[in-house]
Amino acid sequence: MRTLILFTALVAISAVPGLSAEKLPALIVDGQNNHGVWPKTTQMMKKYLEESGLFAVDVATTAPKGIDPDFHPDFAKYKVVVSNYNGAPWPEATQNAFADYVRNGGGFVVVHAADNSFPEWPEYNQMIGLGGWGGRNEKSGPYVYLSKEGEVIRNEEPGSGGHHGSQHDFSVVVRDSNHPITKGMPREWMHVKDELYDKLRGPAGRMKVLATAYADPATGGSGRHEPMIFTIDFGKGRVFHTPMGHADYSQECVGFIATLQRGTEWAATGSVTQPLPQDFPTATALSKRAWGE
């Protein structure tokens, strides 16, 4: 009888997503950010990833100010690293270890202001494809955006990198529905109030734009179709980048949550096994999950 109970318990455990032994180890890096809400958004992203049942998530936090000489996570332990960090440079050894980690096949996820980080670190700019602020300009690479019809435009004109208009709900338009991250998404879906980053610029090598949003001049935007979901290959590593996710309310968007979950799985493994959630937004309807409920 005891054997039977044990067997039943094992079957029950293996059938519950999230309790399997083969979770993907993921690391969120944070500790400094011009967005004061970062401790909360780290916890939100940690929970979203864990709720997928796929990831076991650790967090590595730097000292609150300046270069942290003790910050050297063991990146090689993880299948994917998610950055919620926008602050002082990491120690050089940590930078080199991180670039080697991605080059050798580690996954990397760039969320919102993480693409403001490290303007002076050439490999980081190659990894993120496009970045903003921090003195970025024409020397950083072209502005990259899409025409209405979907042609990729690389605009070399001089000017600063990184800008946004006023925050608002906006429509995300899927431009490549064959990619695992965007497969099954409606062609257009509404994203909850966020900063719509525009005029990002960078080396943008081996970069694929999967979805864009129109930065309407009426809300102070660039008048361009700006990349919102994109990927970059760096060595053998896969990078998923979304400039969305400014605030806690922006990250409550089911479109953001599912994009983060799928993009992180893709960066870790090269494929996506998660179905699109039933409550995914549509072209006309926002969908959010209130945090803490």
If binding is defined by CB under 5 A, does position 265 make contact with Zn ion?
no
* CB-based contact 27:57 (threshold 8 Å): yes
Place of tokens 């400014």: 246
* CB-based contact 183:210 (threshold 8 Å): no
**Number of residues counted as binding Zn ion (CB under 5 A):** 2
- The phi and psi torsions of 287 (rounded to 5 degrees) equal -145, 125
If binding is defined by CB under 5 A, does position 163 make contact with Zn ion?
no
Q: At what angle do helices 38-51 and 254-269 cross, to 10 degrees?
A: 70
If binding is defined by CB under 5 A, does position 191 make contact with Zn ion?
no
Dihedral over Cα of 290, 174, 180, 15: its sign: positive
If binding is defined by CB under 5 A, does position 115 make contact with Zn ion?
no
Q: Which is nearer to Zn ion, 132 or 203 (CB)?
A: 132
Among 175, 191, 199, 246, binds Zn ion (CB under 5 A): 246
Distance CA 21, CA 24 (A): 9
Q: Which is nearer to Zn ion, 191 or 246 (CB)?
A: 246
If binding is defined by CB under 5 A, does position 201 make contact with Zn ion?
no
Minimum distance from CB of 1 to Zn ion (Å)?
59
Q: Which range binds Zn ion by CB under 5 A, 36-44, 187-195, 198-206, 274-282? A: 187-195
If binding is defined by CB under 5 A, does position 193 make contact with Zn ion?
no
User: If you compute the radius of gyration of the chain from its CA atoms, what whole number of angstroms results?
Assistant: 19
* Residue nearest Zn ion (C-beta atom): 246
For binding to Zn ion (CB under 5 A), which residues are involved?
195, 246
